[in-house]
Amino acid sequence: MSAPPDARRREPARLSAARLGAIRAGVGAPPFDPRALRTGVVHLGIGAFHRAHQAVLTQDAMAASGDDRWGVLGVTQRSRGVVDQLVPQDGLYGLLTKGARASSLRVVGVHTGVAYPGDETGRVVASIAAPATHVVTLTVTEKGYRIAPDGGLDVSDPDVAADLAALDAGARTATGLPSTTPTRPTPRLVPGPDGPPARTAVGLLLRGLAARRRADAGPLTVVSCDNLAGNGPVLAALVAQALEHARDDDLRAWVDTSVRFPATMVDRIVPATTPAHHTEAEALLGLRDAGLVVAEPFTQWVVEDAFAGPRPPWELAGATLVADVAPFERAKLRILNAVHSTLAYRGALRGLPTIADAVADPDLLAAARALVDEDVLPTLDPPPGVDLRAYRDQVLDRMANPATGHTTRQVASDGSAKLPQRLLGTVRDRLAAGAVPHAAAATLAAWIAYVRTVACDGLVLDGRAVTLDDPRADALAAAAAGPVDGLADRFLALTDVVGDLGESHELRDAVGAALRDLGVR
Ligand SMILES: NC(=O)c1ccc[n+]([C@@H]2O[C@H](COP(=O)([O-])OP(=O)(O)OC[C@H]3O[C@@H](n4cnc5c(N)ncnc54)[C@H](O)[C@@H]3O)[C@@H](O)[C@H]2O)c1
Ligand SMILES: O=P(O)(O)OC[C@@H](O)[C@@H](O)[C@H](O)[C@H](O)CO
């Protein structure tokens, strides 16, 4: 039976540029007319993190400088979901900042467009090739880089192979000359002027670089903002390897001289947006906002000052430009992200739905501190001006903020792609120093126990079943199944995840002992 008309809730109007004037007092509005911005940045992976981090710093930097050249074309990678969220809103969305005691809302308006390569590869490529574009940034998750077990580009991945073939065909079309040796198979022809849709972030970037070189549009800076150790150099190497594979020596030489890949350390806890966040934000804004993102108050961006050309004045918004990002990045990944994963796996195993719940558990807090104190700190050189013990405490304090609602299930996802970045470097360094990393082994064991529980027994958090969300889910589930005897060995034999670490019998023994401590029998 339908409700009587007066009891029906009237849906508020949707956020858009035309309704900027209707934004309520107390909600921060963009400090300029977003419609007047020019596009100077192309961002691949316009997920929640980019919208709550780089986009906000870009807005603040443009406001502080009056320089309106740095509008962003946002590119969504896997589906057109964000296009449907943001295009009807003229790129505008709210950022709900959740401190432990107070929340605030501001509207962000830096996106001059949103594109999905499945529909608009040509538009993205043209934008990367435009002379007014000076920077391409990325947040496509760890697995989005398609890194092979040996650390290079996974050319056996069909999506990567398709993108390389399209690049090859594009080069042939552009030059009118064969770009391949006669002995190589003929690449498939490009259907239409833009070629087939790019399937991977690196493939899309390569297509953009090739077009930029052809257009003679000048140098470009490509900035990875993902939680990857050495994100800039890693991306540079993937691009170089792809060009070697495609045998495009001319493009390779141009990239060598004209494209820079600075490294960055990015930090802000940005959980997935929930229906409760939407309700809270709508009450503050008075408008409906399908693109809402949520974040903690803390934000940090340390960027290697190695740009090929102009860049947004991000330092005016609080970014730190440094000569060497590595110590900042290593400390953040090994402390914050490794602690996050520890709390996520151990917390989920105890039925705790959020990271804040996990920090509040004294056993789990002790495990997190032990990981940092016993195994991580001995592997780190403090970044200039940073006290790493104070940093550890600050990180734990941020994670204790219950208001963000960051879930253990979200942080626990993609362990096979995340742990090599945030934990295994610590393990490797400790073993090389002759130490057995018991606390880090306990985090590995917690991951294994989590995978086994989810894959074999089933796990319910907050009333919802957890699924094994991981690019290597099948291999992990196979390793998890079977007798407990040999469980640690089976996981440490997954060389595409752990490399050669399984050769250490001390580590295998330590992980086995930690599994028993966790009650995995
Ligand atoms: N959320 C955070 O707290 C946070 C903080 C620091 C850094 N980061 C970095 O940002 C990344 C994205 O986080 P988010 O919160 O925006 O997540 P999200 O799920 O909101 O967005 C993920 C983005 O990555 C793209 N993507 C996902 N899988 C991909 C694949 N296989 N290939 C290409 N693109 C793919 C998606 O299309 C989307 O644009 C993280 O993986 C991490 O590296 C996140
Ligand atoms: O974003 P993910 O899912 O790859 O990793 C989960 C978290 O550890 C991570 O996003 C942190 O919240 C972030 O790195 C804080 O800066």
Q: 103 and 245 in one domain?
A: yes
Ligand nearest to the backbone CA of 141: 1
Instruction: For residues 482 and 509, give the distance between their C-alpha atoms in angstroms, rounded to a whole number.
Output: 18
Q: How many angstroms separate the alpha carbon of residue 469 from the centre of ligand 2? A: 15
> What's residue 521's pLDDT?
82
Q: 311 and 273 in one domain?
A: yes
Q: How many angstroms separate the alpha carbon of residue 144 from the centre of ligand 2? A: 14
Q: Whose CA is nearest to atom 6 of ligand 2?
A: 411
Q: Whose CA is nearest to atom 18 of ligand 1?
A: 47
Q: 369 and 303 in one domain?
A: no
CB 46 less than 6 A from any atom of ligand 2? no
CB 268 less than 6 A from any atom of ligand 2? yes
Residue 128: inside a domain = yes
Q: What is the mean pLDDT of residues 136-142?
A: 97
Q: 501 and 410 in one domain?
A: yes
Q: Count of CB atoms within 10 A of residue 101's CB?
A: 7
Question: For residue range 273-310, what is the model confidence (pLDDT) as tens digits?
Answer: 999 999 999 999 999 999 999 999 999 999 999 999 99
Q: 397 and 306 in one domain?
A: no
CB 337 less than 6 A from any atom of ligand 2? yes
Cα distances (angstroms) measured from residue 163 to each of 12, 144, 231, 255 = 43, 14, 21, 18
Q: How many angstroms separate the alpha carbon of residue 164 from the centre of ligand 1? A: 23
Show which of 290, 307, 322 is a domain's final residue. Answer: 322
Residue 9: inside a domain = no
Q: Count of CB atoms within 10 A of residue 275's CB?
A: 7
Q: 123 and 272 in one domain?
A: yes
Residue for token pair 């849709």: 197
Residue 4: inside a domain = no
Rounded to 10 degrees, what is the CA torsion of 473, 476, 477, 479?
160
Residue 3: inside a domain = no
Number of domains forming the structure of the chain: 2
Q: 366 and 298 in one domain?
A: no
Q: How many angstroms separate the alpha carbon of residue 337 from the centre of ligand 2? A: 6
Answer with the residue of higher pLDDT: 166 or 231: 231
Q: 250 and 337 in one domain?
A: no
Q: 436 and 311 in one domain?
A: no
Q: What is the mean pLDDT of residues 66-76?
A: 98
Go through the chain and tell me how many residues it has. 521
Instruction: For residues 296 and 284, give the distance between their C-alpha atoms in angstroms, rounded to a whole number.
Output: 17
Question: For residue range 10-56, what is the model confidence (pLDDT) as tens digits?
Answer: 789 999 999 999 899 899 999 999 999 999 999 999 999 999 999 99
Question: For residue range 408-420, what is the model confidence (pLDDT) as tens digits?
Answer: 999 999 999 999 9
Q: Per-residue pLDDT for 1 more than 90? A: no
pTM: predicted TM-score of the whole model, two decimal places:
0.93
Residue 504: inside a domain = yes
CB 269 less than 6 A from any atom of ligand 1? yes
Q: Whose CA is nearest to atom 30 of ligand 1?
A: 144
Q: Identify the band that residue 169 occupies on the pLDDT scale cut at 50, 70 and 90.
A: low
> What's residue 173's pLDDT?
53
Average pLDDT value over all residues in the chain: 93
Q: Whose CA is nearest to atom 26 of ligand 1?
A: 140
Residue 440: inside a domain = yes
CB 48 less than 6 A from any atom of ligand 1? yes
Residue 8: inside a domain = no
HSE-CB at 378 with a 13 A cutoff on CA atoms is 19
Q: How many angstroms separate the alpha carbon of residue 264 from the centre of ligand 2? A: 15
Show which of 276, 294, 322 is a domain's final residue. Answer: 322
Q: How many angstroms separate the alpha carbon of residue 276 from the centre of ligand 1? A: 21
Instruction: Give the atom of ligand 1 at the shortest distance from the alpha carbon of 471.
Output: 31
Q: Whose CA is nearest to atom 7 of ligand 2?
A: 411
Q: What is the mean pLDDT of residues 508-514?
A: 98
Q: 333 and 315 in one domain?
A: no
Q: Per-residue pLDDT for 183 more than 70? A: no
Q: Per-residue pLDDT for 190 more than 90? A: no
Q: Per-residue pLDDT for 368 more than 90? A: yes
Tell me, what CATH number does 366's domain have? 1.10.1040.10
Percent of the chain with pLDDT over 70: 93
> What's residue 150's pLDDT?
87
Bridging pattern class, strands 103-108 and 39-44: unpaired
The string of DSSP letters for 463-496 reads: TEE-----TTHHHHHHHHSS-STTHHHHHHT-HH
Ligand nearest to the backbone CA of 398: 2
Among 40-44, 101-105, 147-151, name the one with the lowest average pLDDT. 147-151
> What's residue 117's pLDDT?
96
Q: Which two structure tokens, joined as six digits, stand for 481?
A: 């199944």
Tell me, what CATH number does 287's domain have? 3.40.50.720
Q: Per-residue pLDDT for 323 more than 50? A: yes
Q: 362 and 310 in one domain?
A: no
Q: Per-residue pLDDT for 75 more than 80? A: yes
Q: 231 and 125 in one domain?
A: yes
Quick one: CA dihedral 232, 236, 242, 246, positive or negative? Answer: positive
Q: What residue numbers bound the domain in which 132 lies?
A: 14-322
Show which of 322, 357, 373 is a domain's final residue. Answer: 322
CB 340 less than 6 A from any atom of ligand 2? yes
Percent of the chain with pLDDT over 90: 89
Ligand nearest to the backbone CA of 114: 1
Q: Do 270 and 261 touch, CB atoms closer than 8 A?
A: no
Q: Per-residue pLDDT for 247 more than 90? A: no
- ipTM, 2 decimals? 0.98
Residue 345: inside a domain = yes
